[in-house]
Structure 1
Amino acid sequence: MTKGFDCSTPLTAQRAAAFVGQGFKFVARYLVPSGAKALKKAEADAVSAAGLQLVSVYETTANRALGGRSAGLADGATALQVAAQVGQPAGSCIYFAVDFDVSAAQMPTVIAYIKAASEATPAYTTGVYGSYAVMEAVYAAGACSRFWQTYAWSAGKKSTFIHIYQYLNDVMANGIAIDYDESYGNEGWWNTRITPEPPSYPMSAKDANAIIPFLSAGYGATSSVPAQNEFHRLANELRKASGQSLE
């Protein structure tokens, strides 16, 4: 478990160093094109020099994901432009925020948004930030490969597969408001001083594609929606394990 935080206030070199001195290893910052909370190249360099890792999160408005597929494609394209501007290396992760209490009726639209954002950012791994319900639904749909859960709207539940967990909001530290996070590995963080190693995949595409037809047959043989969803999820897990695009 690794200690981290997220904040909307840009970090100076001095403030970043203060957090490092307190044992923090990473900070999540906003990968957005403009506004007071936006991460800039100078900040990314200062944070990296201080020894903090960066986690990129794209969020313009809390319920932007309700724009569905078209919004996901647009936001993914914008995120790519900003990532290049701040020096975020390919192979690291961009998380897209779903920062509200999503209803069951809204969830398919949210999933479509995350899938489209993932399609639009092929050089990066794609993550989602949101509640327990969002984690479970997006994971089952195979819409992305990284998961950052907030305790908000989660009713005390915590997904077993997440990479980052936000467990406390609105804490004052080193003169700014932050949220506390912890991470569990493979978060997709980055800094401007170290280029991440290319991802390695435990399974070959040939082997994965030899197994997927059996799952497709199981999908077609059942009328149970939960069972079909599970066959679809497993097929996407094989695709992820072999470095292929999700479907």
Structure 2
Amino acid sequence: MALMGLDIAWARPSNADILSTGACFVARYLSPDDTKNLTAAEVQGYPPDGISIVVVWESTEQRMLDGYAAGAADAQAAENQLKAVGLPDSMPIYFACDFDVQGGQLSTINDYMRGVNSVIGLGRSGFYGSYYAVENVAAAPATATYFWQADAWSDSKWSGHANIRQDGGTALGGSADIDHAMTDDYGQYPRFVAAPVPAPLPAPTTSLGDDEMAVFSEGPLPEGFASDIKGNEIDHSKARVISLPPKNSGSAGWGGVWLSFACDFATVRLRVAICNAAGQFRINFFDFTPGKRVSVPIFDGDQYVSVGRVQGFGDGAEPVGYLIEAVKK
């Protein structure tokens, strides 16, 4: 499911107002106009309430038609503002092409983006524009990594390259445009970190030898919803806390651990929080379609798992079960 966000320029809604719309992120501006720009207070204030931040540079409407040198100058100005408000220099920056691009202008826009990349690097550069502009920039070499497509001038078409879609709707009395993030990493702060990929575990076996997989525990998940789509608690009694084998490595006890979930009858989303010995949590969301078994990565030092259903997926009563298998040393 795509995450909703708001593109906000001059308005300054409270975090509560933003969250009341269902938004999980805000897109805020870097520009020559200080009255609409992102502030250090916002950078510090949004994340504690679960609101991520996307930044976009915008100056004059057809600025990109000034080509490579303009792109380099704008990227340097955007980078300076980014650092001034306390965002990290790993943060992607979108650059706005906010007009109806014509065919003869496309190569100049590509040159502008290459100018941007000469300052912040290709891996951090993002492009905002219409379907046709996004498709052009995405097809050209060394232009942008992130894409944000506007509904305007797009003839109801959506690019498969778009990390964010600006759908054309508004919120907060028309002071904010509605967006949807289409990918896990859409250039947001705090920066997206993919879950580590574990080493392959031995496949489960039905017969036990001296060092084979055995069922450690299994059972159903409670009915009802433990959290909303943003991971906020609804009813913690609807979550199940699952203990993992007491020793996940070594020559004795339990070895590699295999945790999996399966469901039937409907698509279900689970919020899975894994706690290690240091008290640190890894929280991820997993979608399960009928009859599909999904494994969740478990690492040395992990101690227990808290798992619950996410509201908005199924009716909360579908059969969902968990299974923990481990190597018995």
TM-score (norm 1): 0.72
Q: Matched residues in 2 for 1:132 and 1:123: separation?
A: 20
Q: Matched residues in 2 for 1:77 and 1:58: separation?
A: 11
Q: List per-residue Cα deviations over 1:32-57 (Å, max 9, x = no partner).
A: 24431111111222222332111000
Task: Confirm or deny that 1:86 pairs with 2:80.
Answer: no
> Which of 160, 175, 178 is the matching residue for 1:180?
178
Root-mean-square deviation (CA), in Å? 2.1
Shift of 1:108: 0.7
Q: Matched residues in 1 for 2:32 and 2:95: separation?
A: 14
Shift of 1:20: 1.7
Q: Counterpart of 2:26?
A: 27
Shift of 1:161: 1.8
Letter in 1 for 2:149: Q
Of all paired residues, the percent bearing the same amino acid is: 34
Distance 1:124 1:88, change over 3 A: farther
What runs of 5+ residues in structure 2 fail to find an aligned partner? Answer: 197-329
Q: Matched residues in 1 for 2:74 and 2:123: separation?
A: 14
Q: Matched residues in 2 for 1:10 and 1:177: separation?
A: 6
Shift of 1:9: 2.1
Shift of 1:180: 0.7
Deviates more, 1:86-95 or 1:51-60: 86-95
The residue correspondences of 1:1-247 to structure 2 (distance < 5 A) are 1-11=2-12, 15-122=14-121, 125-142=124-141, 143-169=143-169, 171-173=170-172, 177-185=175-183, 186-191=185-190, 197=193
How many residues are treated as equivalent by the alignment?
192
Q: Matched residues in 1 for 2:116 and 2:11: separation?
A: 25
Pick 1 or 2: higher relative contact order, CA cutoff 8 A, min separation 6: 1
Runs of 4+ in 1 over 6 A off after TM superposition: none
Shift of 1:11: 2.9
Report the 3-state secondary structure (helix = DSSP H, G, I; strand = E; otherwise coil) of the residue aligned with 1:106: helix
Shift of 1:172: 4.3
What runs of 5+ residues in structure 1 fail to find an aligned partner? Answer: 201-247
Shift of 1:125: 1.0
